[in-house]
Amino acid sequence: MRIAIIKNSNAQSKLAAGLLTQKLTKNGFTLDTHNPDVVITIGGDGTLLGAFHRYAQQLDRVRFIGVHTGHLGFYTDWRDYEIDDLVQALLKDSGQSVSYPLLDILADYEDGTSSHYLALNEATLKRLSGTMRTDVYIRDNFFESFRGDGLCVSTPTGSTAYSKSNGGAVIHPRLDAMQVTEIASINNRVFRTLAAPLILAPDEWVVLRPEPFQDYLMSIDQFSITPQLVTAIRFRIADERIHFARYRHMHFWDRVEDAFIGAKQ
């Protein structure tokens, strides 16, 4: 088994990565950052997001494992003091994995070019100065004219991140769904949006046709892009999925409770 270790820059992560490297080589694993079978991230959920983008072209061949150096995260099943248990689990690996949906984003520009992205958490479109105005289409049918700060389209695993801050629902990642949430929409007698999160079915897509301003900001997970003049952005559930090597099961709702509610009395 070829393993890549991706760590963030904090001292605890470097320490854990050193220890893991040592134990993996001692147990006969090969370290390979170019063509790994398994990518182990050490840091937080953000570290896993970074590794996802680094290996986005190899998603059908790679399984991910997240080690968290702080509290447990949503993409991280292991803590840094469990390195020994993780190596034992890897030695007994039988290829077990779980997979989750991703978001496919296609942006068309006025000059006829387009760009394509995959997101693990979400993509947003915002305007840097002034109100964002965009028409929203569902399955190519006009749905609403949005005015406000922006719109966020998220995956089920991304539903506990930015989307949740926008009042979105937390979605179990076994559902193949895509959620649209509003970022500060303007609603009055003149402007009207749904003003509620929208959860779409697997075969549906959303298209934004923003007014032609130059100052949009598009975010794909932790990355920000200032695109050239956008004519349309289409969001749909991707054909690709992300695979995690899952050696032990933690119920999704336990994770949600642990992250957001904390110890019960």
Q: Measure the CA–CA gap between 75 and 49, rounded to whole angstroms.
A: 9
The residue annotated as part of the active site, out of 32, 37, 45, 93, is 45
Q: Looking at 21-29, 78-86, 153-161, 229-237, which segment touches ligand NAP (CB under 6 A)?
A: 153-161
The distance of closest approach from Cβ of residue 257 to ligand NAP in the complex, given in angstroms and rounded to an integer, is 13
From the list ligand NAP, Mn ion, none, partner contacted by residue 101 (C-beta under 5 to 8 A by kind): none
Q: Decide: residue 224, CB within 10 A, 0-12 exposed, 13-18 middle, 19+ buried.
A: exposed
Q: Which CA distances in Å does 148 have to 74, 82, 108, 177? A: 29, 45, 22, 24
Token pair in block for residue 11: 């001292």
From the list ligand NAP, Mn ion, none, partner contacted by residue 73 (C-beta under 5 to 8 A by kind): ligand NAP
Please tell me what DSSP assigns to residue 111: T
User: Total residues at the site for Mn ion (CB under 5 A)?
Assistant: 2
Between residues 24 and 125, which has the closer beta carbon with respect to ligand NAP? 125
Tell me, yes or no, if 104 is annotated catalytic.
no
Residues between 178 and 237 with contacts to ligand NAP, criterion CB under 6 A = 221-222
Between residues 29 and 155, which has the closer beta carbon with respect to ligand NAP? 155
Residues between 47 and 66 with contacts to ligand NAP, criterion CB under 6 A = 49
Half-sphere exposure of 180 (CA within 13 A, CB side): 25
Report whether 14 belongs to an annotated binding site: no
Q: Enumerate the β-bridge partners of residue 220.
A: 123, 223
Q: Report which of 79, 70, 73 is spatially closest to residue 45, judged by C-alpha positions.
A: 73
Residues between 17 and 56 with contacts to Mn ion, criterion CB under 5 A = 44, 46
Where do we find the tokens 């978001």? 103
Token pair in block for residue 201: 């079915």
Q: Measure the CA–CA gap between 158 and 75, rounded to whole angstroms.
A: 10
Q: Looking at 39-47, 52-60, 80-88, 232-240, which segment touches ligand NAP (CB under 6 A)?
A: 39-47
Between residues 36 and 44, which has the closer beta carbon with respect to Mn ion? 44
By the rule CB under 6 A, 148 interacts with ligand NAP: no
Residue 83 · residue 20 · CB < 8 Å:
yes
Q: Report which of 146, 155, 152 is spatially closest to residue 209, judged by C-alpha positions.
A: 146
Residue 30 · residue 3 · CB < 8 Å:
yes
Token pair in block for residue 264: 């019960």
Report whether 165 belongs to an annotated binding site: yes
By the rule CB under 6 A, 165 interacts with ligand NAP: yes
Between residues 182 and 221, which has the closer beta carbon with respect to Mn ion? 221
Residues near Mn ion (CB under 5 A): 44, 46
Residues near ligand NAP (CB under 6 A): 44-46, 49, 73-74, 121-122, 157-158, 160-162, 165, 221-222
Q: Which residues are documented as binding site?
A: 45-46, 121-122, 147, 149, 160-165, 184
Q: Which residues are documented as binding site for NAD(+)?
A: 45-46, 121-122, 147, 149, 160-165, 184
Which residues are the active-site residues?
A: 45
